[in-house]
Structure 1
Amino acid sequence: MSSAATIDRDAVVAALESVNDPELHASIVRLGMVKDLAIEGGRVSLTVELTTPACPLRETIEQDVRSALASVPGVEDVVISWGAQVRASNPREGQKPIPGVRNIIAVASNKGGVGKSTVASNIAVALAKAGASVGLIDADITGPNLPTMFGLPAGLQAGSNEGLKPVERYGVRVVSIGFLLPRGTPVVWRGPMIGSAVRQLLHDVPWGDTDYLIIDLPPGTSDASMSMAQDAPITGVIIVSSPQAVSVEDAMKAVAMFEKLGVPVFGMVENLSYFVAPDTGKRYDIFGHGGAREAAEELGIDFLGEIPIEPGVRDGADRGVPVVYGAPESESARAFDRIARNVAARISVLQRMGG
């Protein structure tokens, strides 16, 4: 008798029922994550459809699936394929969905100079490298930096009659008002004009099919932040701080602002967290350390991670090559990757809860 005859399909399904998604705390079968289940001889093959290609616990799920199926009589081999289906967030009352965009992630701070654009650009590239479809908006209208950080020339669309269009770089589709302005040209606009410009970047740009649209906001509680939060179905916001007390204080104000606007806060990131001397390996807490983590605990929100000071981060931004792409094995690149995966996982949990 062949081994195929000895494998009970119901036993295979029952075994898979016992495997839970570690983030969603529910069976992968009940969640509809098991696809294309097939039994041939002693081999069981299946596709696990994740809720995000940036799932941080994929290895855990694979180990649990293999362990569960090992207990089924007759199973000699398990072949797992992977897919991902990112669900769309639901807009709240009065918000206008962006066609094709499933989730919007805002990156904000209440203080300039903490590396918010660096965080936004590297999280975008990290999600794209994981296999997600990613867009990135430079909503800092008066100080657009993303063209430089992605190695795109200022004013590259200044002569176009078609308006702003996304430019793909490192797997990310980027849009910035800087595409229309020659290098060094100031934007001297009042608040309502800035709010209107942000709305146009959201709704008048052809984003197409996008799993995650990341918005790099200007610092402070400005018209740009309020316009975006009121107009678009923002899935959640990442707050960036440095360890310094004044930066942490401002970050806590940003958390309070988004909570008042009804926007979920994914958590806080501590940038410029520490420095490890490359010649001695000695660690220095140049701006202090742990302030953002303590603030997150005080506010009852998640601490998403800390990013060290590394020359490669600054060098990559200056050369137009985000460190996640240019130096993926560096400590800072790994930190950005963990933060991106943590945020993607939190989105899946929010959607499971009906958020």
Structure 2
Amino acid sequence: MSVTTAEIKGLLAGIIHPRSGKDLITEDVVRALKVDGGHVQLVLDVLAQDAQAMLPVRDQVETAIAALDGVGNVSVLLTAERKGDAPPDLSAHRAPPPPEQVEGVKHIIAVGSGKGGVGKSTVTANLALALADLGLKVGILDADIYGPSQPKLMGSNGRPVAMNERLIPIAAHGVKVMSVGFLMEENRALVWRGPILAGALQQMLHDVAWAPLDVLIVDLPPGTGDVQITLTQKTPITGAVIVTTPQDVALIDARRAIDMFHQTETPVLGLVENMSTHICTSCGNEDDVFGHGGGEAEAKTQGIPFLGALPLTRVLRETSDSGTPIVRAMPDGPEAQRFVEIAQKLKDHLATL
């Protein structure tokens, strides 16, 4: 017999919040509770000053739910709102708070696209490794919270641990990685609204032991929504890299992404045309499956740098699925060299700042 939502809430009503002394239901910290057969997931959304004290409570909740009859899998995430107890000043003339620097991180590069399926996460992973091979200390923050891909791409499935009130990012292929995918089951969906997304992003930025890093690359979700706006408004971003394919339907959405970054006064460092050509494994013939040159032409129209074109090959897909990106698996191959060329352009630009 499957567990019910009422049973979960009854259990949570018996677990005490360490600061207030009230139970978790009365304290109103339980969010996004979902019970699906034997699968249970929920979020404990707390104030930043309570985050450290709530870590053992999260473990207590997870253990208690897992012990219930009918429960197969449990996912309990802890997010912390970075705010105080004072009510907000809603004055129309109040200046917004200044962006908060991420401790120990020199530069932050956001990798975005207006559209899903253009290979943004694959580009992020390989650019991160290429920059690391060029001598930089690099981290990856997987901000695609609804569809985290970096654990798969980087071949990592560990769970971050806390030390000195900070989460320790997972080390993979010589870079530091943090993803909500490390904190949940691989095949479970997150059903979160904007405020929880924003809180999770802020926690992964400021409550993770990133230092020291030369550059943190943020793998954004597709589109121009809550995560993008939260990142650009609350964190000083060095610049954004736009990923697109050559076809018109992708370029339309890439323009929207570029416009969003312009509206938030975020510099656009350049555009990458992914899947520029398909290279046949058997004969080596190049075929412009999605068209060719659209990304370079759009970069020229937008007045932004064109960083490079990347091919679509079987080996690029195979190495990504295997958890060893092609820059690490086949560093001397032509695909890896394309990523290195783009990374060198980014490194050269960062050196001028």
Superposed displacement of residue 276, structure 1 = 2.1
Write out aligned runs for 1:94-109 (5 A): 94-109=98-113
SS at match of 1:266: strand
Q: 2:269 matched to 1:270? A: no
Write out aligned runs for 1:103-182 (5 A): 103-153=107-157, 156-157=158-159, 164-182=167-185
1:278-305 Cα offsets, whole Å, 9 max, x none, are 3323210011111111110111111000
1:150-178 Cα offsets, whole Å, 9 max, x none, are 1112xx32887977421111111000001
Distance, in Å, in 2 between the alignment partners of 1:135 and 1:240 is 19
Distance, in Å, in 2 between the alignment partners of 1:93 and 1:339 is 34
Distance, in Å, in 2 between the alignment partners of 1:195 and 1:271 is 29
Write out aligned runs for 1:292-303 (5 A): 292-303=295-306
| Cα pair 2:278 2:286 within 8 Å, conserved | yes
Q: Which amino acid aligns with 2:98?
A: G
Distance, in Å, in 2 between the alignment partners of 1:211 and 1:347 is 9
Q: 2:253 matched to 1:260? A: no
Q: Which amino acid aligns with 1:274?
A: T
Distance, in Å, in 1 between the alignment partners of 2:183 and 2:272 is 31
SS at match of 1:227: helix
Matching residue of 1:78:
none
> Compared with structure 1, are the counterparts of its residues 190 and 176 closer, same or farther at alpha carbon in structure 2 (3 Å cutoff)?
same
Q: 2:195 matched to 1:192? A: yes
| Cα pair 2:160 2:170 within 8 Å, conserved | no
| Cα pair 2:326 2:336 within 8 Å, conserved | yes
Q: 2:335 matched to 1:323? A: no
TM-score by length of 2: 0.70
Distance, in Å, in 2 between the alignment partners of 1:275 and 1:126 is 22
Superposed displacement of residue 144, structure 1 = 0.5
- 207, 211, 216: which one pairs with 1:208? 211
> Compared with structure 1, are the counterparts of its residues 163 and 203 closer, same or farther at alpha carbon in structure 2 (3 Å cutoff)?
closer
1:172-198 Cα offsets, whole Å, 9 max, x none, are 100000111022111110112111211
Give % identity: 43
Segment of structure 1 superposing worse, 318-327 or 276-285: 276-285
Q: Which amino acid aligns with 1:129?
A: D
Q: Which amino acid aligns with 2:339?
A: F
Superposed displacement of residue 146, structure 1 = 0.4
Superposed displacement of residue 347, structure 1 = 2.0
TM-score by length of 1: 0.70
SS at match of 2:189: coil
| Cα pair 2:162 2:168 within 8 Å, conserved | no
Gaps of 5+ in 1: 1-91
Distance, in Å, in 1 between the alignment partners of 2:159 and 2:281 is 41
> Compared with structure 1, are the counterparts of its residues 298 and 107 closer, same or farther at alpha carbon in structure 2 (3 Å cutoff)?
same
SS at match of 1:183: coil
SS at match of 2:111: strand
Structure 1 residue ranges, 4+ long, deviating more than 6 angstroms after superposition = 158-163
SS at match of 2:255: helix
Distance, in Å, in 2 between the alignment partners of 1:195 and 1:248 is 27
Distance, in Å, in 2 between the alignment partners of 1:124 and 1:287 is 26
Distance, in Å, in 2 between the alignment partners of 1:198 and 1:286 is 36
> Compared with structure 1, are the counterparts of its residues 198 and 277 closer, same or farther at alpha carbon in structure 2 (3 Å cutoff)?
same
Q: Which amino acid aligns with 2:142?
A: D
Distance, in Å, in 2 between the alignment partners of 1:96 and 1:221 is 21
| Cα pair 1:149 1:321 within 8 Å, conserved | yes
| Cα pair 1:268 1:296 within 8 Å, conserved | yes
Q: Which amino acid aligns with 1:99?
A: E
Superposed displacement of residue 348, structure 1 = 2.3
Q: 2:240 matched to 1:233? A: no
Gaps of 5+ in 2: 1-95
1:223-254 Cα offsets, whole Å, 9 max, x none, are 10010001111100000000110101100110
Q: Which amino acid aligns with 1:157?
A: R
